[in-house]
């Protein structure tokens, strides 16, 4: 198809594929269904104001349409589902994280501005000295409501929406007999609502103003109705919220995400705004960055690197040991060795944590009774790191064993034979043949393992929550914290609850660090590839 | 010919789209004109999840209880559909309640009664207690949140700042609640919750090891010295758990945030006050003598106590079941005194709150005030949760002596600060405790460092 198009050249318009009208119609039908759902989905998204999701969805839909309707792009038709999925599942979360890092999305700034205005405008207050009433609700056959009110002095009133409240004696309609609660069973065509009828009507009764102007009465709860007034009003021209009770004016502040009075008082709740690079500025100027950051960064690299090296070394050793077909029972032993891989990581970590517990742990108490000493694996800054590496080794070696076993099989025997003829000893054969050839195939997996461990929150937090704490640090930080667990700390144990936007900013920075480290490592693997080519 | 054909196709597609929108539109518009649609069937909400709640791992749907099996209610059918692990609002329900595993079965019973009597469908969804706090902030604004949720009073600062909790109106029944519990649920002068239980820790001792409870913290130190030769620890504490450490700090006059007439003052951090440092130094003595060692957590502490290796500890009502199951004898009483009087623990209050995104807040209020705030239901909640009720008629029915002892200690308890700045406190304070117990820092130094960390975090967040 591609060649076809190229051969025809771009200036010559394509003939419609008349040989396959049915296929064309089917495709059009399928596209129509996709589009219909997409437009509906977009409608829902836009109605809720979720722009960051609506825009990429719209772009993808346009792309899908162009590709499917333009004959020149026919070759791309089979790519487009994959491309769409990549855009939605990979690119979008990254874009959304970057977007979030430029907002103030955190505790206190969860809602959109419109949601905040709606919520504030819904708040009511009872003016001082405003009357309160006991009430009963009524409904006529048209579904309109009426309210029978009894004030504190026992005076009775009849109120309808947007009509003056009448004293019960002045009501022209005939009033039914009084029921056990002391309320008339009906007023004209209006019948009293009780039990389930009343409870099911509460949603419709909510916010209905019975009466006119300032006298209007609203239901407050099942026992009381009162002349409630809206507490806040939004003035779009000044972009301000006016407090009707206090008279204070709060102006919208797009920098801080609050309505703020002239005295500097914030009106809660706050809303989401774009704050530019402030999260990044805060990261690079905060004591959190100056203080333990370098130390944590170095430990993160050491942890990731040592985890890869130790797991790979042990995995390879075991793989080579069990690669020998003469070894009896190797299948069974190999199966048993894989068990740690089949356990969920966090379970393994917690089991180890229990066994290492200095007071009641099996390993600790046994070692105490035999040697009188046990490394403080959970409390000492140095031994905690050793403990984490050991647990991670236990968790990670089966994977390395599996991939090494496979890769070992692929190294041709004749190279070893040739080496033996040349008089190479076992170490030389391993160092000059096995390892370089192995690294060619497992090198990318080792990098993947490094990146995985770089962000291995589960092991760090499950083992000891990054503890013990670092003394003298300007922000809370632990000796075994890695970057990602430290991010968790500063984002979610910070000054005022959860700071998602700040976490996003730190994540973007970590992403950049990991990307750079990975690029450097790929350089190294390229060297290994050259080795393999020269063999 | 080609361009025309493309345009025709696009036109066709647009037409199809609008046709579909028109169909869906009927349901979407329901919210705009509520008054006209009361009598209609509940409009089916769109099945598209605009914001999937991914973090929710807890199975949200309460298993139908045995009493329910007789009649297959609409609600059961509705709940069975939502078993994909995410908390999705049940579109059939008039009211949705989020409650933790302890409270959910009790509320389910009330919900069934409510439905039977009034035909109002109440769905009780089980959500992990700690998750509720985060999820009301995520699911609420997206329209998937509950009408009523269970929570603790110290969430209020954050919830109010987020705009994810609505005012509560208990007019007429306020006098049936413990005043301190209502006060705890009042933030900036506004009531936000209906309390059902209070909780605080107290001092536990093993009567087989000590005859009378130590009256002062110096007695605790003396007791530890006395028991050490027998291999028994006199008193110990979790290594990184400031909540349990607090009563010892207050006994020496320490505090977390200063109190003004308007409530807690976030600019007055008291962890490096004279009293707090004196308390830390007492703990430092215990560490130096080897009585308090690092690596302690709740399970370890319970294991030591149940083995008879520990005489006293600071513990809560949640420790009672473990001790009773193990059959270890215990006595519960007030905390030993320091230079500033007896230790005062934090008071925590649990209650029901209403979401500001509720479509039917009056019904939510009515359900709480008319059906949950009754002696029977409140007593059932007490039996399920094992905390002293905050509802006075139910509290009067409690006969458990241990809980009465807890309630007595709680009479002096200080409400845990509900201001959002509290989130900066826990980790810094806990680290100070761990540094003292680990012997890494001098007690005074550790406390001053923690206080400084807290001040920095608060000022950074307020920038």
Which is higher by pLDDT, B48 or A409?
A409
Residue B127 maps to which CATH number? Answer: 3.40.190.10
Quick one: B206 and B283 in the same domain?
yes
Long-range contacts of B209-216 (CB under 8 A, 24+ apart): B209/B308, B209/B311, B210/B311, B210/B312, B213/B312, B213/B331, B213/B333, B213/B334, B213/B336, B214/B312, B214/B336, B215/B336, B215/B337, B216/B336, B216/B337, B216/B338
Supply the pLDDT for residue A145: 92
- Give pLDDT, residue B177: 94
Report the pLDDT value the prediction gives residue A150, as an integer from 0 to 100.
92
Q: Tokens 């905060």, residue?
A: A286
Instruction: Give the closest-approach CA distance of B363 to chain A in angstroms.
Output: 6
**Contact between A487 and A478 (Cβ < 8 Å):** no
Are B394 and B365 in a shared domain? yes
> Is A476 in Cβ contact with B460 (below 8 Å)?
no
Contacts of A36 (CB under 8 A, 6+ apart): B13, B16, B17, B19, B20
User: In the prediction, which pLDDT does A221 show?
Assistant: 86
Same domain, B245 and B363: no
Query: Would an 8 Å CB–CB cutoff place A43 in contact with chain B?
Result: yes
The model's pTM: 0.78
* B329 and B362 assigned to the same domain: no
Question: Do B117 and B70 share a structural domain?
Answer: yes
Whether B230 and chain A come into contact, CB under 8 Å, resolves to no
Residue B332 has pLDDT above 50, yes or no: yes
Q: Is B435 found in the same domain as B403?
A: no
Our CA-based measurement puts residue B399 at a distance from the nearest CA of chain A, in whole angstroms, of 32
* Residue contacts between A and B (CB atoms, under 8 Å): 245
Q: Which of residues 207-266 of A touch B (CB under 8 A)?
A: 208, 219-224
CA distance B6 to chain A (A): 6
**What does pLDDT average to over chain B?**
82
Per CB-CB distance under 8 Å, the chain A contacts of B449 are: 471-472
Q: Which two tokens stand for residue A227?
A: 């002349």
For CATH 1.10.3720.10, list the domain ranges present in chain A.
Answer: 287-534
CATH code of the domain made up of A287-534 = 1.10.3720.10
Delimit the CATH 2.40.430 region(s) of chain A.
125-230
Put simply, whether A269 touches B (Cβ < 8 Å) is yes
Whether B162 maps to a domain, the answer reads: yes
**pLDDT for position B146:** 94
Q: Which of A35, A199, A287 sits opposite B13 (nearest CB)?
A: A35
Domain span including residue B269: 202-344+421-462
Asked if residue B398 belongs to a domain, the reply is: yes
In a domain, B60, yes or no: no
B309 and B386 fall within a common domain: no
CATH 1.20.58 for domain A16-100, yes or no, is yes
A143/B39 touch (CB, cutoff 8 Å), yes or no = yes
Residue B75 above 80 pLDDT?
no
Is the separation of the CB atoms in B308 and B377 below 8 Å? no
Question: How far does the CA of residue A65 sit from the closest CA of chain B (Å)?
Answer: 8
Tell me: the pLDDT tens digits for B200-233? 999 999 999 999 999 999 999 999 999 999 999 9
Provide the pLDDT for residue A288.
Answer: 65
Shared domain check, B236 and B370: no
* B185 and B272 part of one domain: no
Q: Determine, for residues B295 and A108 on separate chains, whether the beta-carbon distance falls below 8 Å.
A: no
Q: What is the pLDDT of residue B223?
A: 95
Question: Looking at the domain assignment, is residue B6 inside a domain?
Answer: no
Rounded to whole angstroms, the Cα distance separating A383 from A380 reads 5
Task: Determine the pLDDT at residue B48.
Answer: 34
Using CB atoms and an 8 Å cut-off, which of residues 66-85 of chain A contact chain B? 69-71
The answer to whether residues B163 and B126 belong to one domain is yes
In a shared domain, residues B447 and B298: yes
In degrees rounded to 5, what are phi and psi of residue B97? -120, 135
ipTM of the predicted structure? 0.78
| CA–CA dist A300, B308 (Å, integer) | 42
Cβ atoms < 10 Å from Cβ of A485: 22
Residue A457's closest CA among A345, A312, A298?
A: A345
**Does B94 sit within 8 Å of A200, measured CB to CB?**
yes
Query: Is the CB of A496 less than 8 angstroms away from the CB of B421?
Result: yes
Distance CA A282, CA A236 (A): 32
**Euclidean distance between CA atoms B8 and B286, whole angstroms:** 85
Choice between B428 and B3, residue whose per-residue pLDDT is larger: B428
pLDDT at B85 over 60: no
Q: DSSP string spanning B156-211?
A: HHHHHHHT-------TTTGGGB-HHHHHHTEETTEE--EEEEEE--EEEE-TTT-S
Please check whether residue B19 lies inside any domain of the structure.
no
Which member of A36, A143, A494 has the closest CB to residue B457?
A494
B107, containing H or E segment: helix B104-118
| B62 pLDDT above the threshold of 90 | no
Q: How far apart are CA B299 and CA A213, in angstroms?
A: 63
**Chosen from B4, B31, B35, B302 to mutate, greatest number of chain A CBs within 10 A:** B35
Which residues contact residue B55 at a Cβ distance below 8 angstroms, ignoring those fewer than 6 apart? B131, B134, B135, B138
DSSP-assigned beta bridge partners for residue B235: B312
Residues 363-392 of A with CB under 8 A from B: 376, 378-379
User: Which residue in B431, B435, B441, B452 has the most chain A C-beta atoms within 10 A of its own C-beta, making it the best mutation to test that interface?
Assistant: B431
Task: Pick one of 2.40.430, 1.10.1760, 1.20.120, 2.60.60 as the CATH number of A125-230.
Answer: 2.40.430
- Our count of domains for chain B comes to 2
Same domain flag for B158 and B244: no
Q: Phi and psi of B198, rounded to 5°?
A: -115, 155
Q: Which residues in B lie closer than 8 A to residue A123 (C-beta atoms)?
A: 167
Low-confidence ranges of chain A (pLDDT < 50): 1-15
């Amino acid at each position: 198809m591609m060649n076809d198009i190229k051969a025809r050249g771009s200036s010559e318009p394509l003939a419609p594929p008349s040989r396959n009208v049915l296929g064309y119609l089917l495709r059009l039908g399928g596209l129509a269904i996709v589009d219909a759902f997409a437009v509906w989905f977009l409608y829902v998204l836009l109605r809720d104001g979720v722009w960051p999701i609506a825009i990429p969805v719209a772009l993808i839909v346009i792309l899908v349409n162009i590709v499917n309707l333009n004959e020149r792009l026919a070759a791309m038709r089979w790519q487009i589902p994959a491309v769409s999925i990549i855009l939605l599942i990979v690119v979008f979360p990254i874009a959304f994280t970057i977007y979030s890092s430029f907002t103030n999305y955190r505790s206190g700034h969860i809602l959109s501005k419109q949601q905040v205005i709606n919520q504030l405008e819904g708040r009511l207050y009872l003016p001082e000295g405003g009357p309160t009433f006991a009430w009963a609700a009524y409904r006529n056959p048209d579904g309109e409501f009426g309210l029978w009110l009894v004030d504190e002095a026992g005076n009775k009133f009849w109120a309808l929406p947007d009509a003056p409240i009448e004293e019960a004696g002045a009501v022209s309609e005939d009033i039914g007999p009084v029921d056990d609660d002391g309320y008339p069973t009906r007023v004209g065509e209006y019948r009293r609502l009780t039990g389930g009828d009343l409870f099911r009507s509460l949603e419709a009764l909510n916010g209905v103003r019975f009466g006119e102007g300032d006298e209007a009465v609203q239901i407050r709860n099942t026992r009381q109705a009162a002349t409630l007034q809206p507490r806040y009003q939004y003035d779009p021209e000044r972009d301000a919220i006016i407090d009707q009770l206090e008279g204070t004016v709060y102006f919208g502040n797009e920098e801080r995400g609050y309505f703020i009075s002239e005295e500097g008082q914030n009106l809660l709740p706050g809303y989401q705004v774009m704050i530019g690079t402030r999260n990044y500025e805060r990261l690079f100027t905060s004591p959190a960055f100056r203080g333990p950051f370098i130390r944590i960064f170095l430990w993160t690299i050491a942890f990731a690197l040592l985890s890869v090296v130790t797991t790979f070394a042990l995995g390879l050793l075991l793989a080579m040991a069990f690669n020998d077909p003469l070894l009896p029972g190797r299948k069974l032993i190999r199966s048993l060795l894989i068990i740690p891989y089949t356990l969920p990581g966090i379970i393994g970590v917690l089991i180890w944590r229990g066994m290492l517990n200095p007071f009641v742990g099996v390993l600790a108490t046994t070692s105490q009774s035999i040697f009188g000493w046990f490394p403080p694996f959970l409390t000492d800054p140095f031994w905690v790191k050793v403990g984490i590496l050991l647990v991670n080794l236990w968790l990670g070696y089966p994977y390395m064993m599996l991939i090494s076993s496979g890769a070992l099989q692929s190294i041709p025997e004749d190279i070893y034979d040739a080496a033996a003829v040349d008089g190479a000893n076992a170490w030389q054969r391993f160092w000059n043949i096995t390892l370089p050839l192995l690294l060619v195939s497992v090198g990318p997996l080792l990098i993947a393992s490094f990146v995985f461990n770089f962000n291995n929150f589960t092991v760090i937090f499950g083992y000891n929550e990054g503890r013990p704490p670092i003394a003298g640090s300007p922000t809370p930080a632990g000796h075994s914290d890695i970057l990602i667990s430290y991010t968790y700390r500063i984002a979610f144990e910070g000054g005022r609850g959860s700071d998602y936007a700040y976490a996003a900013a730190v994540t973007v920075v970590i992403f950049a660090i990991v990307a750079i480290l990975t690029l450097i490592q790929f350089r190294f693997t390229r060297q290994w590839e050259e080795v393999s080519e020269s063999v | 010919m080609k361009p025309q054909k493309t345009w025709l196709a696009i036109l066709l597609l647009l037409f199809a789209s609008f046709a579909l929108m028109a169909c869906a539109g009927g349901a979407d518009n329901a919210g705009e004109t509520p008054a006209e649609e009361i009598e209609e069937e509940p409009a089916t909400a769109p099945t598209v999840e605009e914001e999937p709640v991914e973090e929710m791992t807890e199975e949200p749907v309460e298993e139908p209880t045995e009493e329910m099996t007789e009649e297959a209610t609409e609600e059961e059918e509705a709940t069975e559909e939502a078993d994909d692990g995410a908390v999705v609002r049940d579109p059939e329900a008039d009211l949705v309640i989020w409650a933790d595993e302890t409270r959910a079965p009790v509320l389910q019973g009330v919900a069934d009664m409510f439905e039977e009597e009034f035909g109002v469908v109440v769905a009780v969804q089980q959500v992990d207690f700690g998750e509720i706090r985060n999820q009301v902030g995520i699911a609420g604004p997206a329209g998937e949140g509950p009408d009523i949720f269970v929570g603790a009073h110290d969430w209020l600062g954050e919830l109010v700042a987020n705009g994810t909790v609505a005012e509560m109106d208990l007019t007429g029944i306020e006098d049936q609640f413990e005043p301190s519990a209502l006060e705890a649920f009042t933030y900036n002068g506004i009531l936000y919750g209906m309390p059902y239980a209070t909780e605080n820790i107290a001092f536990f001792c093993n009567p087989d090891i000590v005859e009378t409870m130590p009256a002062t913290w110096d007695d605790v130190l003396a007791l530890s010295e006395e028991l050490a030769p027998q291999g028994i620890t006199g008193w110990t504490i979790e290594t990184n758990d400031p909540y349990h450490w607090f009563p010892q700090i207050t006994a020496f006059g320490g505090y977390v945030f200063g109190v003004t007439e308007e409530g807690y003052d976030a600019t007055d951090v008291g962890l490096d006050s004279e009293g707090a440092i004196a308390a830390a130094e007492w703990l430092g003595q215990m560490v130096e003598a080897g009585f308090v060692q690092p690596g302690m957590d709740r399970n370890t502490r319970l294991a030591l106590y149940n083995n008879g290796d520990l005489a006293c500890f600071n513990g809560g009502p949640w420790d009672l079941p473990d001790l009773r199951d193990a059959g270890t004898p215990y006595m519960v009483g007030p905390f030993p005194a320091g230079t500033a009087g007896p230790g005062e623990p934090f008071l925590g209050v649990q209650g029901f709150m209403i979401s500001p995104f509720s479509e039917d807040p009056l019904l939510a209020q009515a359900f709480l005030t008319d059906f949950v705030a009754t002696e029977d239901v409140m007593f059932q909640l007490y039996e399920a949760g094992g905390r002293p009720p905050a509802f006075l008629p139910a509290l009067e029915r409690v006969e458990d002596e241990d809980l009465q002892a807890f309630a007595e200690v709680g009479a002096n308890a200080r409400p845990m600060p509900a201001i959002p700045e509290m989130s900066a406190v826990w980790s810094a304070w806990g680290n100070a405790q761990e540094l003292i117990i680990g012997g890494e820092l001098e007690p005074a130094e550790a406390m001053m460092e923690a206080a400084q960390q807290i001040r920095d975090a608060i000022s950074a967040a307020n920038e």
